[in-house]
Structure 1
Amino acid sequence: MMLRGTIGVTLFFVFVVTAVFGQEGTATHPDQSVFNEPETLTWINSYGTFRLSDKWFWHAELHYRMRENESRNFIGDVAQVYNRHGIQYIPTKNFKFTAGGVLRIDFGDQSGDAYEKIRLEPRIWHEYQLMMPFDRFRVYHRIRIEHRWKKKFKKGSDYVFGNRWRYKFMMKIPLNKPKLQPGTIYFNPDVELIMQSGKAIVDNPLEDLRLYPGIGYIASPRTSYSANMMYSFGQSGEYGGFYRQRWVFKFNIYINLDLRAFDDKIPETRFYD
């Protein structure tokens, strides 16, 4: 019931935001929606959380992303290198706030003197995450807002400012133990809706809807792993009637370290479980 309710709220949110953002202007529409052939990618991600004091943390992410090419699916060429950092504040065991910066490096797949081989995409981001503990599992709600400067690969293109509005619903359900603890294998249903807005967004506010169930393993209080197969679709290009599709294999490692002096250490927060 909880999952069905969340999906219903998400679809309602898609409808409302699409209706609101879609009033910014008009563009040429195809006669019917066009879904591109799914693209295959592989994302290898590391997430580090380092405790600085009782309630303050440093959060660091490094993502290495590959895409298909003509000869190989999933691992053909380098697509992006993604570097995200932020300062994190955890006032209670069930809530955290993070803010910081992102530098994404995109590698182009077009040849010729008219196109750049790489482009940089800087962002400012902040997020708010609520954790709901239950007897055997945990539920997470995350809102992330990103302010980004993006440009095309064509030489001479200018940066265009825009915003991304992201909502994620996630669960961790232990499979081989009664609760989430070291040695636990857990099921990880995960849904994320990503909307976008800005002057360049006319009738394509739905950037991505990501569905990525996965399996995780808690190796220790400091390290855990997970793997997901993600399917996503969203509006692409300049027209709202065109949709891209992707299949993405994700492998993730999570590292939590306490950088304080030994005498200052206290039990970890519930977000680490």
Structure 2
Amino acid sequence: MKLKITIILLLLSKLTFAQNKELGTWQVVNAQLSLSQKWKVFTELQARSNSFFNNFFYYEIKGGLSYSINNNFSFLVGTGRYATYADEGNFAKPFASEEFRIWQQVTMNQYLERLKIEHRYRAEQKWTGDGYRNRFRYRLNMMLPLNNAKLVPGTVYLNAYDEVFLNNKAPHFERNRFFAGAGYILTPVTTVQAGYVNQYNYSLSKRGGKNFLQLSLMLQFKYDDDRERIPNLMD
């Protein structure tokens, strides 16, 4: 109980000091298909807006393949296209940037009673109009089921993470992303989630933060229907 109270207080303090700017929206649709108990494929679509469900300025389309050594350790390779628009409006050209990306990822899970703790390490190779660069990301994610001991259909859960973005060119600390929200596992296939995202960029040309309402739909088509339904928070 003390651990749960501490986590909630940390989340509330983070929200309290977050920037008070116009709220944007961030929509995510993620689908995962288990080919076997070890191999999975996924695809994901995202769209982001500068104001509340208006002035959509960004989208991404990506997919990949993962391999699980066991329930607590997995590898993934992915690729995707990322487009950012410069003008006000909904996907109004010209593009501010277009990007092709490949990444490699390692995910490790820990459990503290019913609390699931995820450590995600990612290395990215990025090709843009400004050339090639590398980026490295680390995300600490915590997921806590409320009305069940495990993440099974009918479970309401809390989810929070913080992620740092580093690159090989100065300034090396590029971005911080914080999320806090809740989700509901509707069926063995379908999970919905909503929450708050604060993203702050530290690069000299794009310094500043943005707040978003994030809405996610996650679909999991499992090879083994008896396993726990841990939502696939790809991002």
In the TM superposition, residue 100 of structure 1 has moved relative to its aligned partner by 2.0
* Distance across 1 between alignment mates of 2:20 and 2:158: 29
Q: Which amino acid aligns with 2:186?
A: A
In the TM superposition, residue 129 of structure 1 has moved relative to its aligned partner by 0.6
Q: Is the 1:37–1:244 contact (alpha carbons within 8 Å) kept by the matching residues of 2?
A: no
Q: Deviations over 1:59-94 (max 9, x none)?
A: 1111011113xxxxx333121110111111112111
Q: Which amino acid aligns with 1:249?
A: L
Q: Which amino acid aligns with 1:216?
A: G
* Residue aligning to 1:251: 215
Query: Identity of paired residues, percent?
Result: 26
Q: Is the 2:191–2:231 contact (alpha carbons within 8 Å) kept by the matching residues of 1?
A: no
- Unmatched segments (≥5 aa) in structure 1: 8-35, 69-73, 152-158
Q: Is the 2:152–2:228 contact (alpha carbons within 8 Å) kept by the matching residues of 1?
A: no
Larger radius of gyration: 1
Per the alignment, in what secondary structure is the counterpart of residue 213 of structure 1?
A: strand
* Distance across 2 between alignment mates of 1:247 and 1:110: 17
Residue 107 in 1 paired to residue 78 in 2? no
Residue 117 in 1 paired to residue 94 in 2? yes
What are the within-5 Å matches in structure 2 for residues 38-57 of structure 1? 38=21, 40-57=23-40
What are the within-5 Å matches in structure 2 for residues 115-264 of structure 1? 117-118=94-95, 119-151=97-129, 159-197=130-168, 201-202=169-170, 204-238=171-205, 243-258=207-222
Q: Deviations over 1:47-70 (max 9, x none)?
A: 1111122311111111011113xx
In the TM superposition, residue 266 of structure 1 has moved relative to its aligned partner by 6.6
Q: Is the 1:38–1:246 contact (alpha carbons within 8 Å) kept by the matching residues of 2?
A: yes
- Count of matched residue positions in the alignment of Structure 1 and Structure 2: 215
In the TM superposition, residue 227 of structure 1 has moved relative to its aligned partner by 1.0
More strand by share: 2
More helix by share: 1
Q: Is the 2:153–2:229 contact (alpha carbons within 8 Å) kept by the matching residues of 1?
A: no
Per the alignment, in what secondary structure is the counterpart of residue 198 of structure 2?
A: strand
* Residue aligning to 2:15: none
Per the alignment, in what secondary structure is the counterpart of residue 207 of structure 2?
A: strand
Higher relative contact order structure (alpha carbons within 8 Å, sequence separation ≥ 6): 1
* Residue aligning to 1:268: 227
In the TM superposition, residue 38 of structure 1 has moved relative to its aligned partner by 4.2
Q: Deviations over 1:108-164 (max 9, x none)?
A: 2279xxxx612421001111111112332211110111110123xxxxxxx311111
Q: Please, what is the CA RMSD of the aligned residues?
A: 2.8
TM-score, normalised with respect to structure 1? 0.70
* Distance across 2 between alignment mates of 1:75 and 1:266: 36
Q: Which amino acid aligns with 1:106?
A: T
Runs of 4+ in 1 over 6 A off after TM superposition: 1-4
* Residue aligning to 2:75: 97
Q: Is the 1:47–1:62 contact (alpha carbons within 8 Å) kept by the matching residues of 2?
A: yes
Q: Which residue, out of 38, 52, 61, partners 2:44?
A: 61
